[in-house]
Amino acid sequence: MSGDLSHIEAVIWDLDGTLYRYTELFIAACNHAAARTAIDMGLQMEFDEAVIMATESERLYGSSFKLFAERGLEYRDFHLPYHESVDVAVIEKNEEMKQGLEALDKPMVILTNASRPWVMRMLGHLGYTHLFAPENIIALEDNNFEAKAYHTTGFAKGLSILKSDPDKTLMVEDLPRNLPKAKELGLKTALVHHGQMPEMHGEHIDYLFQNTLELVHALR
C-alpha cells in the first residue's frame, strides 16, 4: 500500500521506532533504565530481578513499565526519570535518513509518547535538531499524558501547529495501535512496519512502508 504522496503538504512524525530504528541493544538499554528507575521509585527488588521483569514486560506488552505498574508504580512519576536514564549512545545514526529529511520541503512536527527531554537528546544525537523547532515537538507530558492510542489530543495539536488540512497531512507511525485516532480526525496515515506486517491493518492505515527511508523518498 505504498503509493503517491504528492498531495501531502505536512507531516506528523512519531519518534521512537520511526525516525530511528529499535535494535536489541537499545531495547536492552531501555529495560535496564526501566529497572533502575523503578528501584529508585521504591520498588523492593534486586536490580537483576527488575531487569528480568522489565524485559518480560517489553516482550509481553511492548512496554518496559507495564509489569511495574502492577506493583503499584505510577507512570506519571516514572516517565521523566526513565527517559533521562536511557543511554542514547546505543542508538544508531543514519546519515542517509538525515539527508532525506533535510531534503523534504514540508512543515513537520514530532508527536511522541516519550518525554520532551528525551526528544531533545535524541534529535541532538541523531543530528536532527535543526529540523524540528521546540514548538514543533509534542511530548506525552505536553498532552497531559493522553496517549496517542486512546486520544485525539496530540493529533489535533499537531494539526494546529502545522495549520494544515487533515487530508493533506500525513501521520507516520511504527505501531498500528497509534493510528486509529489520527484517522478519526481525517489525517492520512502511514505505517512503517520494518518487515513485520500487521495481520489486520484495517481502514485506519492508508499507506504501508518497509522502512522510513522508503517513505521519505516517496514524500520527495
4-to-29, 109, 213 alpha-carbon distances in Å: 37, 21, 15
* DSSP assignment letter at 211: S
Q: What is the pLDDT of residue 22?
A: 86
**Is 42 exposed, middle or buried, given 0-12, 13-18 or 19+ CB atoms closer than 10 A?**
exposed
Encode pLDDT of 60-109 as tens digits.
998 999 999 999 999 999 999 999 999 999 998 999 999 999 999 899 99
Encode pLDDT of 153-188 as tens digits.
999 999 999 999 999 999 999 999 999 999 999 999
| Residue 198 pLDDT > 90 | no
- Which secondary structure element, helix H or strand E, spans residue 11, and what is its range? strand 10-13
Encode pLDDT of 35-56 as tens digits.
999 999 999 999 999 999 999 9
C-alpha 19: how far from chain center: 8
pLDDT-derived band at 195 (thresholds 50, 70, 90) equals: low
